[in-house]
């Protein structure tokens, strides 16, 4: 689901227990609502929508983002991860603020505890405050908050902790001003009563597997099918969550070009797995796995045509596999670990990671990834390209139409015009696709976004970016309703091409 479609759906849903609309930027009102969401199951504030649910947008929203980050960090107690992003719908811009349900309830703003009741934010009653405090006491019994016996400060990577403090300040995700390592760990619930917690060791341990052996991650790579004869790599990673992530990121960056063979076409196709999607899948597995079980694990299996991440964790009770393919509420299994990962800037938009994984795979021309939940945990599989024959019919039809109807002279003019306009801002692959999109409009003037998506086999977000580029350089114009409108060649550009 594209960001624009997500925004449309949210506005259509209307205000609720997890969604608040604001017409303009009012910092106190934003903070009150986020505080209420933190004391519940999380939620969003969407700025730029009237009380009646009309998308009116706001002017120059980026000017407010850093100011809001700093204000919310200073105003809501205790610290909470808040993601702030600028979103677009049509030609209007909005600010989206989102939080998880807090792990350190109750949260306080301006000396008050707030609760969400239906679509309204209210001060919490004494009974509700009592329930929040009781819930926090129960959360202190969570595996993350339990003490790891035998761990001393020397067993932790203090440089990594200092780097985390610096990084969290730099990206305005924390207002912790002290450079003292123990005070930082205490502030985020990782150092309790003179002892270090399990979460602290997972995050910052030098040799955490000595204390928590289930932290290990196994990476295996096969030349073909899953047999011992084809095994070309079998490696265990035993560091903390950040060092394991860094090692796996190096591996992903070095994967390079792979090949898939289509028996129907008797043809080999080279491809690369989208790096960001793999990295997102990996950090999600490391962050949400079940560390509490001694038999828990994360295993990564790599084949020529697929990349499989197996995680012994479970989805939250209120989330199903189908929810991962759309915008969903974020309920971290390990909130203390997730919060520190957030501070380091490794989580962008809460609840959007899985959607970005799907979009990145589609943009790369690959099949959509697949999540499966079994009794042993959750598996995420990245696949190679879609069947060549599946796409060949569409591409051949479009190419044949262009070749039959467009002269070489016109093709050259289109090539030169597009190349000159976007050469400095787009890759060769994007430029080539833009040229073909313009050529297709010469043959079939008046095509919808969906028509282009089918013809070029790319995701909606990719085609929206393409059309925005072509519009910005006055190659095309858009006419009609937002959902049913079509793109046509701009009249002035048609005159330059000397076509009618």
pLDDT, tens digit, 9 for 90 and up, residues 39-80: 988 899 999 999 889 999 999 999 999 999 999 999 999 888
The long-range contacts involving 194-197, CB below 8 angstroms and separated by at least 24 positions, are: 195/147, 195/148, 195/151, 196/147, 196/148, 196/151, 196/155, 196/156, 197/144, 197/145, 197/146, 197/147, 197/148, 197/336
Taking the C-alpha atoms of residue 105 and residue 96, their distance in angstroms, rounded to an integer, is 23
Q: Is pLDDT at 324 greater than 90 in this prediction?
A: no
| Whether the predicted model's global pTM rises above the 0.85 cut | no
Whole-number pLDDT of residue 134 = 75
| CA dihedral of residues 315, 318, 322, 324 (deg, nearest 10) | -60
Q: Report whether pLDDT(266) > 50.
A: no
- The whole-number average pLDDT for the span 132-155 is 82
Q: Tokens 């050259």, residue?
A: 412
Q: 3-class SS at 372?
A: strand
Name the DSSP letter for residue 225: S
On the 0-12 / 13-18 / 19+ scale of CB atoms within 10 A, 491 is exposed
Domains and CATH numbers, the chain: 3-139 (3.30.950.30), 145-210 (no CATH), 213-383 (3.30.565.60), 390-497 (1.10.10.10)
pLDDT at 263: 45
* pLDDT value of residue 278: 93
Percent of the chain predicted with pLDDT > 90: 45
State pLDDT tens for residues 386-438.
Answer: 544 444 455 555 555 566 667 878 888 888 899 888 877 777 778 888 998 99
pLDDT band at 193 (very low <50, low <70, confident <90, very high): confident
Report, as an integer, the average pLDDT of 17-45: 94
| Mean pLDDT calculated for residue range 337-348 | 88
Instruction: Please give the average per-residue pLDDT across 453-458, as a whole number.
Output: 80
* Residue 97 CA: distances (Å) to CA of 2, 22, 318, 431: 17, 11, 22, 34
Give the residue carrying structure tokens 């910052």: 204
84-106: average pLDDT: 89
* Among 309, 189, 181, CA closest to 245: 309
Q: What is the pLDDT of residue 329?
A: 59
Residue 22 has pLDDT above 60, yes or no: yes
pLDDT, residue 55, reads: 94
436 SS3 class: helix
């Amino acid at each position: 689901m594209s960001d624009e479609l997500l925004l449309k759906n949210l506005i259509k849903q209307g205000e609720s227990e997890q969604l608040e609309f604001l017409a303009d930027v009012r910092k106190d009102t934003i903070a009150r609502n986020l505080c209420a969401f933190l004391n519940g199951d999380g939620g969003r504030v969407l700025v730029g929508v009237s009380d009646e649910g009309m998308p009116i947008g706001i002017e120059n929203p980026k000017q407010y983002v850093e100011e809001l980050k700093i204000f919310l960090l200073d105003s809501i107690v205790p610290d909470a991860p808040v993601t702030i992003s600028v979103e677009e719908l049509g030609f209007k811009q909005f600010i989206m603020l989102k939080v998880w349900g807090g792990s350190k309830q109750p949260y306080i703003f301006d000396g008050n505890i707030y609760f969400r009741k239906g679509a309204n934010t209210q001060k919490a009653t004494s009974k509700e405050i009592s329930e929040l405090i009781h819930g926090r006491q129960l959360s202190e019994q969570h595996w993350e908050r339990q003490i790891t016996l035998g761990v001393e400060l020397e067993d932790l990577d203090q440089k990594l902790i200092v780097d985390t403090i610096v990084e969290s300040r730099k990206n305005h995700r924390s207002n912790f001003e002290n450079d003292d390592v123990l005070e930082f760990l205490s502030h985020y619930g990782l150092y309790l009563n003179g002892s270090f917690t399990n979460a602290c060791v997972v995050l910052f341990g030098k040799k955490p597997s000595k204390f928590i052996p289930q932290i290990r991650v196994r990476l295996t790579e096969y030349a073909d099918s899953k047999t011992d004869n084809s095994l070309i790599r079998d490696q265990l990673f035993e560091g903390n969550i950040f060092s394991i992530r860094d090692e796996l990121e190096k591996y992903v960056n070095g994967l390079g070009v792979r090949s898939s063979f289509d028996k129907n076409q008797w043809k080999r196709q080279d491809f690369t797995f989208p790096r960001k999607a793999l990295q997102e899948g990996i950090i999600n597995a490391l962050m949400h796995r079940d560390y509490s079980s001694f038999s828990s694990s994360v295993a990564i299996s790599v084949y020529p045509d697929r990349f499989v991440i197996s995680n012994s964790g479970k989805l939250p009770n209120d989330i199903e596999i189908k929810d991962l393919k759309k915008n969903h509420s974020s309920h971290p299994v390990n909130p203390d670990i997730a919060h520190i990962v957030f501070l380091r800037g490794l989580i962008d938009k809460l609840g959007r990671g899985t959607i970005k994984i799907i979009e990145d795979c589609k943009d790369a021309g690959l099949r959509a990834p697949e999540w499966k939940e079994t009794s042993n945990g959750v598996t995420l599989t990245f696949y190679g390209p879609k069947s060549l024959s599946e796409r060949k019919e569409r591409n051949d039809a479009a190419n044949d139409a262009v070749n039959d109807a467009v002269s070489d002279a016109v093709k050259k003019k289109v090539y030169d015009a597009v190349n000159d306009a976007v050469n400095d801002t787009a890759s060769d692959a994007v430029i080539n696709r833009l040229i073909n999109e313009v050529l297709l409009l010469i043959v079939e003037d008046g095509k919808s976004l969906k028509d282009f998506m089918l013809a070029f086999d790319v995701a909606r977000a990719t085609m929206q970016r393409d059309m925005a580029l072509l519009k910005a350089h006055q190659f095309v114009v858009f006419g009609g309703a937002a959902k049913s409108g079509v793109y046509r060649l701009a009249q002035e550009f048609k005159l330059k091409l000397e076509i009618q």
